[in-house]
Structure 1
Amino acid sequence: MDLPIDEVLDDLRAALAAHGRVVLQAPPGAGKTTRVPLALLIQVTGRIVMLEPRRLAARAAAERMAETLGEPVGQTVGYAVRGERVVSDATRIEVVTEGILTRRLQRDPGLDGVGCVIFDEFHERSLNADLGLALVWEVKQALREDLAVVVMSATLDAGPVAALLDAPVVTSEGRAFPVEPRWLDRPLSKGTRFDVAMEALISRAVAQDDGGVLAFLPGEGEIRRVAGMLNLPGVEVRPLYGALPFAEQRAAIQPAQGRKVVLATAIAETSLTIEDVRIVVDGGRARRARFDPGSGMTRLVTERVSRAEAAQRAGRAGRVAPGVAWKLWAKGEDGALPAFPPAEIEAADLTALALDLALWGDPDGAALPFLTPPPAGALVEAQALLAGLGAVERGRITEHGRALAAMPLHPRLAHMLQIAGAGAADLAALLSDRDILRDRGVDLTLRLRALKDPGAFGVAKGAVTRIRDEAKRLRRFGGKGGDLSAAQQAALAYPDRIALRRPGEAPRWLLSGGKGVKMTEGDPLAGQRLLVVTDTDGHPREATIRQAIPIAEADLRAVVGDRIAWHDVCDWSGRDRRVVARRQERLGAIALDDRTWPEVPPDLVARAMLDGVRTLGLNPSPAARRFLARVALLDLFDTSEAALPDCAEEWLLPFLTGVRSADDWKRFDILPALRARLDYDQQQRLDAEVPPHLETPLGRRVPIDYSGDAPEVAIRVQELFGMTRHPTIAGTPLKLSLLSPAGRPVQVTQDLPGFWAGSYADVAKDMRARYPRHPWPEDPTQADPTLRAKRRKD
């Protein structure tokens, strides 16, 4: 059958011959996956290696090309996926999953015998594809100028990758067959259940159109729910997702006797032709992993698909005949969809990438031509984990790290398998796969028992077989470790997720890595003191435990004892509102033993109290506020609320001896500490130019307030009797707030002689009526100052 890609194959070959690299942009259904490698057979010397993002797609592509040649797989065309390699000496085209190319490059950077590397479906921007392209491009520039590189994509904006490779772009127009898009008349109403809406749309598509149906759902759970709801007499319903046994995956993509509905995840988006599919029903959702470097945990989030993903899915309907693409959203919502999905490198756990970079000799990846560089924060966290596992040391890979890199596992599990030995293979396979006891509590021990006796737990035979097969394969990678329990094995893999229960009734724990986790109320493990947490929902604030295993403290010490050490801790406790001094035996952030520290050095207490002061606030006394106002007038130091706490270590710390609590601090006066910031000359200048008080005719010192627009004192009128000159500060009249005998304001003046001569008479008249026992002379300038009332007459 002619395919659209055939029209540009000559251009592709010419561009590759002239430049040694080319970017091929072809829409879904053009035929690039199965036509391009065959078209390059004559031109390329050596083996052609083509990368596919998924095992099912790799097998299917190899089988289709072998069928085109009239040969069995393993002759001219072969494939290699995790745990399986079907090739021979005659193989010229090898279809591989992306991780296999990375390991091959690490073993043989020169790619001996390989003439061309093809990156298929590069628009998916998987982490391994990005790394593979960066490594291959460096190899081509440094070692293998003759190595041909082809990057193929259905929906990728070809510009950036073409610029990275300085490569020409060849574009194929059109699909094999047209696909008619159909949207909802209006957006789904708020509160509509996704699975209910999908069931209705699938049923509608089956009723209105002929042919097989491929429905896209975000995950296995949604597939199972929708499958249980569908009632389509005479229609075969087939699930398709990554965890299915390969035989069931093949059954889903093979033509059926009658009509069929395939309920699939993104596994069916690319490189697959399901021949009897004429209808696509797109739920418009995609499940993506989001890694939080701060917690070291990954969470799965369900998001709207991008326009590129929607186009890719719709293309599945036009592979062998005209098709229809139903969409579970209104046409007007198309514009709100993002153009492309995020590259995996932007949001993934980078531990495996960091190990590959260390093995390559470029720990930070700075010299590698990444299309999207790895985020610095996530890479630093990954490197820290590898250092904790002993895989790298000062950025360089260790022999232990080389052993981990050779294993087809996350470095955590590879470390566990290397240290614990082949006996940890069951746990490694179990933790690498999907949960076989979903919603059956968090105890990992139950899952290990279910692996041995699936019938007793009602576990699907296919899932157990898959995990057992993987465990069998992993046993050959196991080191010579001793006889460790499952809990100890898990602790080796997750030393940062040892959980110590917090005080209280709520099932909450603190992880050795510093983050908090919780458990559903009523779980059988809710009362355990120590756990190893192997899986959570990844919530960045307080994650919920999904899988964990209890561990005895003695067993924990036996495997991570080198990480446990005594620490003297003297900190401010916001909860206790005081300095707390403890001696703790700690594993990371958790304290396995906690004792009082009676003889804590005073300087440590003072430093901890300083943290408390910054929390509680300086709270200066009225006298300290007046002092700060005086200092501010002469600009002797920064008296702002922000500046004082910032430099408190310099001026306040020496005065905090004996202060340990919020109550102590409440009684503490910071004025002496503030005064000590000034040297002798500054003190003299301050007192001379901005005096702290006014001395009254009675010899009493009244504090001057400098916080307003002018210096001010509050003083009783009678205390100023006899004063005929207005007091001044640096030639500026002092503002006098004149008070009644009861201390209430009666007048404000900056001209005392004027007050005596003017409004005093009215004030005195009012005061005589209110305070008859106090003297109110007609001529206050001739009276003696007083604070006393007149004596009673007998």
Structure 2
Amino acid sequence: MNTAPFNLERIGTGLPVADTIDQLTGLLHESGAVVIQAPPGTGKTTLIPPALANHTGGKVLVTAPRRVAVRAAARRLAQLDGSRLGERVGFSVRGEHHPGSMVEFLTPGVLLRRLLNDPSLEGVSAVAVDEVHERQLDTDLVLGMLIELRELRDDLQLAAMSATLDAQRYSELLGGPVLATPAVIHPLEVEYAPAEGRLSQRGVEWGFLDHLARRAVSAAERTGDSVLVFVPGVREVERVCRSAAGLTNLAVLPLHGRLSSREQDAALSPAEGARIVVSTSLAESSLTVPGVRVVVDSGLSRVPRRDAARGMSGLVTVSEARSTAEQRAGRAGREGPGLVIRAFSEADFRHLSSHITPEIRTSDLTQAALQLACWGTPRGEGLPLLDAPPAPAMRDAEEVLRGLGAIDKQGAVTRRGRSLASMPVSPPLGAALLEHGAGAAEVAACLAEDPRGDITVQLRALRGQRSFEREVKRLRRLAGADRGVVDPGRAVATAFPGQVARLEDPTKQEYLLASGTRAELPTDLGLSGAPWLAVAEVTRAGSRAIIRAAARVSEEDALAAIGVEKVLSASVVSGRVRGREIRRAGAIELSATPVKVTAEQAAGALADGVRQQGLGMFHFSEKAAGLLQRLEFLHTQLGDPWPDPTAADPLEWLGPELRSLAGGGPINKIDMYPALQRLLPWPEATKLAELAPERLQVPSGNSHRVDYATGRPVVAVKLQECFGLASSPELAGVAVQFHLLSPAARPLAVTDDLSSFWSGPYVQVRAEMRGRYPRHPWPEDPWSAQATAKTKRRM
């Protein structure tokens, strides 16, 4: 085995990082951790790993967020080293493993599973986590686990690398210094080329994608340079490629994660003459597409989002962050002066959010929750993470995991949970493999990649494809005994029981999912009219939920997956309690029978109704509604001990009201104000009038009602009553928003910055209003004027 040090001088030829690499050893001696900040094209991914290997004398692991980037980085370093891929330099991605004795590139997901199997990373001397600025969930978790591991292994060296990051924040997290490499700046010309109708409820509009194709072809023919086009997903890549190919004789190549290695290499290899490469976010970082001097940016990104209200998670298309726009633009300036064509306006660019939203804040956390439990830090408690996982998302994730038998009541991992975590698929798909054995491998391989349309039809199309068959073979080996071929619908239902759906409205093709979400089935999926569906993917489109991938499933298999139960339901009909015995599968009602209920049963059933549907059945007087809104406001702003009325146990604070209703009392006679008073925490309740007062006194001496209905304190008051008030009072840390009214109580302005209002917009308001309301004061100097609700004569 060749263990000679890497020739850094040869590998680093022409790379700007080579100018700062000599500092690496000294910085690592300080703390064993370092933050590498180096712009795109400076060579950090190529030169830092062999430098770490030379420094530590052991094996180095390097993570990169995407399989394409992992393969490309390993091949490039092996080529520069003059060794065969898999000897000194290797890579590991899902389904493909070439270990390498000195440097191994791998995805964060692969490293996560390796850490769970071998928490001490025996035989590894250093780890470099690349592209941490992308804030992918797996990357954040890996970094947290490695920081914790370094507390036990002080010989383990750690580097966090990125082109653009908050270096100081990462430096504090790792406890190490920053090694920065200056950017190689080539001038960039920026053009803005907006087009109408980028997005609709159906997704990215074809017309907009054709606009991108025309811009790319025009730029390539005008400049004679290669063009890189950024779009949000595979579907959009395919459309732009077809459209551009019909407009030019230049080579038009796709670049995305579902292509074969050979197809990806075609886009990443040098070529003579201009060409057009259409890519997903894959080419934003880590990868270099040779010859590119022009970038056409759609301005769109596809990111994971969790819809807690509907119990859905999936990828949605959004406007990119400004940091993403700048990262994409940088691709045009890697090899020389470049051109960036942004398919949106300059005003749109100015209004983009500054940074990418971390996935840990927006994603489904089911798999992350299982990995954290396996690591011994349930819910991420105590793990050094840049952002803690949101508590509601973590609660939902743990509920799913308990349903799978993966964790116990305390959140600790079970034996079954460790089996699920060891599988290279999500816990729900892992559960299908454990349940059905190797017969479910085909369905699991299909769902793990990109389920679309009718799963049964998609499976027929995938069979025979080399990469798919290789993944199926691997999953069969992991799943154990073959129990025969499993119907796709049954396998999908086992994996996602909450997404089993029954047809509710044939005219609209509307289905009710077991989770309670109503979703529409597009007519082009080939599943119209199916009485039951096992849904693999459901996404949000505006206010609607749309089924994107599903398989037909029999009613027997559907009910077996969901589970059937009988429950007693009590509801208020015409102001009186009515009881029903319901047979249901999740939220899907199978049958219902009217029954008499005792007062105790009715009270318990009504409490269940409040837990599921909220307080909508009750009538709130103005006084009660005001107290409810004040409590909700204080809970949102201050948290405990101020309660969330919608989350509190109804039997504890609504007991007397529920018993009255259950005993036959009319619902419209129930006073909710005393019930809400029972929720007040003591002794903190003595500060209620200070923290969230019912009324607020203004400079005129009058007091006005504070409205908390919007979630923030709002006071509607005549403008003249606020003369001299320089700043908005704060309630529970939130500035009061003033709705300033005319003498006729019509809105003139909305502000929580009165100082700015008096110094600016007031001048225009005064000019317009003094002639309309001459009997009321409109002084030039509102700061020193007497605040009043009276006319000038009455003053």
TM-score by length of structure 2 reads 0.72
Q: Do structure 1's residue 275 and structure 2's residue 290 form an aligned pair? A: yes
Output the CA distance in 2 between the equivalents of 1:618 and 1:303. 39
Per-residue Cα deviation, 1:14-67 (whole angstroms, up to 9, x for no partner) = 111222111111111111110111223321131011111111111111111111
Q: Secondary structure at the match of 2:21?
A: helix
Q: What does 1:215-226 correspond to in 2, within 5 Å?
A: 215-226=229-240
Give the aligned partner of residue 496 of structure 1: 498
Q: CA deviation at 1:190?
A: 6.2
Question: Is 1:213 aligned to 2:227, yes or no?
Answer: yes
Equivalent residue, structure 1, for 2:539: 537
Structure 2: how far apart are the matches of 1:655 and 1:196?
Answer: 62
Is 2:90 the counterpart of 1:78?
yes
1:261 is aligned, of 270, 276, 285, to 276
Aligned runs of 1:171-570 on 2, under 5 Å? 171-175=180-184, 178-184=186-192, 187-188=194-195, 193-230=207-244, 231-394=246-409, 395-435=411-451, 442-452=453-463, 464-480=465-481, 482-483=483-484, 484-502=486-504, 505-520=507-522, 525-539=527-541, 542-559=544-561, 563-570=563-570
Change in CA separation of 1:505 and 1:158 when aligned onto 2, cut-off 3 Å: same
SS of structure 2 residue aligned to 1:300: strand
2:106 to 96, 112, 115: 96
Deviation at residue 248 of structure 1 after TM alignment: 0.6
CA–CA distance in structure 1, aligned partners of residues 447 and 243 of structure 2: 31
Tell me the equivalent position of 1:650: 656
CA displacement, residues 604-645 of structure 1 (integer Å, 9 cap, x when unaligned) = 4577789899737499xxxxxxxxxxxxxxxxxxxxxxxxx9
**Counterparts in 2 of 1:86 and 1:492: CA distance versus 1, 3 Å:** same
Could you give the per-residue CA deviations for residues 728-786 of structure 1, whole angstroms, max 9, x where no partner exists?
Answer: xxxxxxxxxxxxxxxxxxxxxxxxxxxxxxxxxxxxxxxxxxxxxxxxxxxxxxxxxxx
Q: Distance in 2 between matches of 1:130 and 1:536?
A: 26
- How far off its partner does 1:375 sit? 1.1
Between the aligned residues of both structures, percent identity stands at: 37
Contact 1:418 1:477 in 2 (8 A): no
Whole-Å separation in 1 of the counterparts to 2:218 and 2:505 = 55
Query: Displacement of 1:670 after TM fit?
Result: 8.5
Q: Are 1:183 and 1:330, in contact at CA under 8 Å, matched by a contact in 2?
A: no
Is 1:601 the counterpart of 2:613? The answer is no
| Aligned residues: CA RMSD | 3.0
The whole-number CA distance in structure 2 between the counterparts of 1:423 and 1:32 is: 44
**Structure 1: how far apart are the matches of 2:372 and 2:470?**
30
Following superposition, the deviation at residue 488 of structure 1 comes to 1.9
Where does residue 66 of structure 2 map in the other structure?
Answer: 54
SS of the aligned residue for 2:303 comes to strand
1:617 and 1:136, CA in 2 relative to 1: closer, same or farther beyond 3 A? closer
Contact 2:214 2:247 (8 Å CA) reproduced: no
Give me the whole-angstrom Cα distance separating, in 2, the residues matched to 1:112 and 1:357. 20
- Is contact 1:498–1:533 with CA below 8 Å preserved after alignment? yes
Aligned partner of residue 22 in structure 2, secondary structure? helix
8 A contact 1:275–1:319 mirrored in 2: no
Shift, 1:217, TM fit: 1.2
* Conservation of the 8 A alpha-carbon contact between 2:35 and 2:159: yes
- Larger Cα Rg: Structure 1 or Structure 2? 1
Is contact 1:183–1:329 with CA below 8 Å preserved after alignment? Answer: no
Distance 2:239 2:549 in 1: 23
Task: Provide the rounded CA distance (Å) in 2 between the counterparts of 1:113 and 1:319.
Answer: 36
Deviations 1:139-186 (A, max 9, x none): 001x101111111110112121111112111111122x61413222x7
2:595 aligns to what SS in structure 1? Answer: coil
1:602 positional shift: 4.4
In structure 2, the residue matched to 1:726 is none
Aligned position for 2:582: 584
Taking the aligned partners of 1:27 and 1:396, their CA distance within structure 2 comes to 41
Q: CA deviation at 1:333?
A: 4.1
Q: 2:281 is matched by which residue type in structure 1? A: A
Quote the residue 1:109 is aligned against.
Answer: 119
Partner of residue 80 from structure 2, selected from 58, 68, 77: 68
Q: Aligned-pair distance for 1:651?
A: 6.4
1:132 is matched with: 142
- Partner residue of 2:39 out of 27, 50, 75: 27
SS at match of 1:396: coil
Q: Partner amino acid for 1:218?
A: P
Whether 2:177 is the aligned partner of 1:168: answer yes
Q: 206-215 or 104-113, which moves further after superposition?
A: 206-215
Aligned to 2:698: none
Q: Which residue identity lines up with residue 566 of structure 1 in the other structure?
A: K
Q: Measured at CA, do residues 469 and 580 of structure 1 come closer, stay the same or move farther in structure 2, by a change above 3 Å?
A: farther
Q: Normalised by the size of structure 1, how large is the TM-score?
A: 0.72
* Cα distance in 1, alignment partners of residues 616 and 14 from structure 2: 75
User: C-alpha distance in 2, partners of 1:652/1:404?
Assistant: 43
Give 1:355 deviation, angstroms. Answer: 0.7
Q: Deviations over 1:468-526 (max 9, x none)?
A: 32212211111447444322212210111122333674432322222222223587544
Contact 1:27 1:173 (8 Å CA) reproduced? yes
After superposition, what is the alpha-carbon deviation per residue over 1:103-148, rounded to whole angstroms, capped at 9, x for unaligned? 111111111111110011111111111000000000001x101111
Distance 2:670 2:293 in 1: 81
Give CA-to-partner distance per residue, 1:308-363, whole Å, 9 cap, x none.
Answer: 21222222233344433332234454322222111111111111101101111111
Matches within 5 A, 1:726-741: none
* Partner SS for 2:379: coil
State the 1:189 CA deviation: 5.2
Structure 2, unaligned stretches of length 5 or more? 1-12, 199-204, 622-650, 675-795
Partner Cα distance (1:506, 1:303) in 2: 28
Partner secondary structure for residue 522 of structure 2: coil
Once residues 655 and 570 of structure 1 are traced to their aligned partners in structure 2, the CA distance between those partners, rounded to angstroms, is: 11
1:118 counterpart residue number: 128
Counterpart contact for 1:498–1:531, Cα < 8 Å: yes
Kept after mapping to 2: 8 A contact 1:50/1:94: yes
Partners of 2:282 and 2:525 in 1: CA distance: 34
> Quick one: structure 1 residues 276 and 232, their matched pair in 2 at CA, closer, same or farther if it must change by over 3 Å?
farther
In structure 1, what residue type is equivalent to 2:436?
Answer: A
Give 3-state SS (helix, strand or coil) of 1:381's partner: helix
User: Is residue 194–residue 342 contact of structure 2 (8 Å, CA) maintained in 1?
Assistant: no
**Distance in 2 (alpha carbons) for counterparts of 1:665 and 1:389:** 40
CA contact (8 A) 1:283 1:327 kept: yes
Structure 2 CA distance for partners of 1:207 and 1:148, relative to 1, 3 Å: same
Structure 1 contact 22–149 (Cα < 8 Å) conserved: yes
Change over 3 Å in CA distance of 1:339–1:524 after alignment to 2: closer
| CA pair 300-558 structure 1, distance change in 2 beyond 3 A | closer
Q: 1:6 to 1:558 in 2, by over 3 A?
A: same
The number of residue pairs the alignment matches comes to 617
